[in-house]
């Protein structure tokens, strides 16, 4: 049964980007991020109480709180960049760049933490980098307003900040349960996102969100939460060595749904790039 939950995790993670894209056709991406984070925060704390890790709150010291907040700020910046990139760019381009945060994390861990890069990880880095390059080199979709190359800057920003989230977590919050750390970081993201909404004078845009797009924004948050729940259940009952690579295949789910929902087609070059990314991801899981 746990294998079903593993595939469920990949399915819901892949749906998150699609649902979010549907919810930000006209809605400002910052406003959408602030709204969906409310849903994600609920799920993250649900996970905390589900695992009983709330008892660790009183044991967190000041240094750990500092890194939790910094990690949360990096997560918030990553989400803001990611959903802005999704709003103005092709899903088939944005998602592979965002997934390349795995590569950046390994490189940063090597530079700042002195972690060794094994041969399988090195091969995985090359495959993912090559695959990402092939996928972003395809022509612009005629039906999507891409604002030049600004989507690329936001997508790269999403990957960079996602990598910083992992590094900051590795440095300062290794002793905190992952579910509790995620819940606290999500709280920081929520505060950060709403500060951005008010600082940029977008309060009126919150009221202007249509019911249809609000529904998709909330559904994207629910998809994120459902992915977390399935992932935790799969890890609890099954083999991590199998669950993790299945979860990483969410990029395939996203590409498939992007084809049917937004009619975003992959060229042969892009399809080959996707194969390289999947192969590189699986290769990096080899001990």
What is the 3-state secondary structure of 139-202? Answer: CCCCCCCCCCCHHHHHHHHHHHHHHHHHHHHHHHCCCCCHHHHHHHHHHHHHHHHHHHHHHCCC
Which whole number is the average pLDDT over 122-130?
A: 92
Reply yes or no on whether the pLDDT at 155 is more than 70.
yes
How much is the pLDDT for 141? Answer: 44
Average pLDDT over all residues of the chain? 89
Domain count, the chain: 1
Domain that holds residue 103: 2-283
Which whole number is the average pLDDT over 239-263?
A: 86
Which whole number is the average pLDDT over 222-244?
A: 84
Percent of the chain beyond pLDDT 70? 94
Task: Using pLDDT thresholds of 50, 70 and 90, give the confidence band for residue 142.
Answer: very low
How much is the pLDDT for 140? Answer: 47
Span 161-214, pLDDT tens digits: 999 988 887 776 667 888 898 899 999 999 999 999 999 999 999 999 999 999
Enter the pTM of the model.
0.87
How much is the pLDDT for 177? Answer: 84
Span 62-91, pLDDT tens digits: 988 999 999 999 999 999 999 999 999 999
How much is the pLDDT for 143? Answer: 44
As to burial, measured by CB atoms within 10 angstroms (0-12 exposed, 13-18 middle, 19+ buried), residue 59 is: exposed
Reply yes or no on whether the pLDDT at 137 is more than 70.
no
Span 1-59, pLDDT tens digits: 888 999 999 999 999 999 999 999 999 999 999 999 999 999 999 989 988 999 999 88
Reduce the DSSP state of residue 11 to 3 states and report it: helix
| 249-273: burial string, b at 16+ Cβ within 10 Å, e else | bbbebbbebbeeebebebeeebeeb
Name the one residue in this structure whose structure tokens are 């959408």.
32
Reply yes or no on whether the pLDDT at 138 is more than 70.
no
How much is the pLDDT for 171? Answer: 75
Reply yes or no on whether the pLDDT at 111 is more than 60.
yes
Rounded to a whole number of angstroms, the CA Rg of the chain reads 18
């Amino acid at each position: 049964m746990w294998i079903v939950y593993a595939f469920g995790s990949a399915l819901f993670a892949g749906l998150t980007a699609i649902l979010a894209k549907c919810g930000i056709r006209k809605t400002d991406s910052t406003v959408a991020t602030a709204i969906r984070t409310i849903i994600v925060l609920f799920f993250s704390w649900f996970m905390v109480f589900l695992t009983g890790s709330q008892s660790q709150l009183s044991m967190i010291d000041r240094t750990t709180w500092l890194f939790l907040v910094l990690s949360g700020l990096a997560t918030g910046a990553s989400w803001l960049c990611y959903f802005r990139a999704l709003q103005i760019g092709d899903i088939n381009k944005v998602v592979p760049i965002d997934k390349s945060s795995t590569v950046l994390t390994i490189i940063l861990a090597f530079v700042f933490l002195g972690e060794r890069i094994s041969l399988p990880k090195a091969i995985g880095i090359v495959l993912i980098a090559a695959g990402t390059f092939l996928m972003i080199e395809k022509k612009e979709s005629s039906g999507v307003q891409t604002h030049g190359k600004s989507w690329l800057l936001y997508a790269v920003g999403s990957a960079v900040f996602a990598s910083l989230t992992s590094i900051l977590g590795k440095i300062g919050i290794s002793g905190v349960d992952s579910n509790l750390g995620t819940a606290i970081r999500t709280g920081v993201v929520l505060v950060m996102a709403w500060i951005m909404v008010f600082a940029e004078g977008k309060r009126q845009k919150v009221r202007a969100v249509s019911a249809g797009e609000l529904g998709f924004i909330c559904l994207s948050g629910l998809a994120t939460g459902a992915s977390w729940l399935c992932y935790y259940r799969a890890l609890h009952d099954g083999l991590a060595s199998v669950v993790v690579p299945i979860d990483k295949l969410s990029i395939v789910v996203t590409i498939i749904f992007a084809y049917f929902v937004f009619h975003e087609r992959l060229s042969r070059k892009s399809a080959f790039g996707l194969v390289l990314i999947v192969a590189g991801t699986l290769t990096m899981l080899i001990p």
